[in-house]
Amino acid sequence: MTALAVEAPTAPEWSGRLVVRAAGRPMLHIAGEGVTAPAMPVFTLPLECAPDAEQAPGVRPWDGPVTESAVCPACLRALRGEPEPEKPRIVPAGIAEKLPVPAPAPDPHGRHLRAVSDPVTYTEAPLPAEHGGHPITWSRWTLAPVITHHDPSCEWCGDAGPGEMAGGRQGHPASTAVPFRRFIAYRCTACQEMTAYVQVGSDLQTVAHHKSRAPKDCNR
């Protein structure tokens, strides 16, 4: 019986072709063009997926319904002129291969996950190299002490802090040519807002200010 007896509208790929079933296998095959069912109940004949009859499996005519999902995929590809699927690439033993990065697992609580970009960094605030025509020697930046009842957060970006401080000096106590002065600088490690002061008696006077390029209140 031909594939004209189907449970759905006849597909043009196998219309008028002999449909057969391999012995012991549920998959249906499409016989080669012009092939008719011989008198013997079990036979070997050229198929679309195996055009060489000597290499083809033993089959018998199929008289049941024919749907595309029941037909051998290789027969369908041959009828449609589609290429064979790409075979898996075999990686030799001992050669490392980069594995694909798996997608993040869904949140068990049903929340929507989103990628968080790396925090923005800003160029380190430069300390003034001189004041009053004389060079300043600065110490390294160290963590600023937290003073009781004083908010250590940055007034510009709102970073919780504490920031860092550095001490500077100029001249020598015994020098008459270059007066001895002490300096102090504070900076925010997040946005690099920085102010340097010179100590005058018990007061601090601003000698340099490095304006931050971060958006206002970006870290609040």
C-alpha R_g of the chain:
42
CB-based burial label for 194 (10 Å; 0-12, 13-18, 19+): buried
CA neighbor of 201 nearest in space, from 220, 181, 185:
181
* Assigned token pair, 148: 């009781």
pLDDT tens, per residue, the chain with 220 residues: 444 443 444 445 667 788 888 777 778 888 888 788 777 767 778 888 888 877 777 888 888 888 888 888 888 888 888 888 877 777 677 677 677 777 777 777 766 667 777 777 888 889 999 998 899 999 999 999 888 888 889 999 999 889 999 999 998 888 778 889 999 999 999 999 999 999 998 899 999 999 999 899 888 8
What is the residue type of 5?
A
Give the pLDDT of residue 112.
67
CA 196 vs CA 104, 126, 203: distances in Å: 46, 10, 13
pTM over 0.75: no
DSSP 147-170: PTT---S-TTT------EEEEEEE
- For position 207, what pLDDT does the model report? 94
> What six digits make up the tokens of 176?
């008459």
Place of tokens 């600023």: 144
Q: What pLDDT is stored for residue 113 in this prediction?
A: 65
3-class secondary structure, 206: strand
pLDDT at position 196 is 95
Measured distance CA(141)–CA(165) in Å, rounded: 5
> Following DSSP, what letter does each residue of 22-69 receive, concatenated?
ETT---EEEBPTT----SSSSEE--BSS--STTTSPEEEE--S---GG
Hey, what amino acid is at 181? R
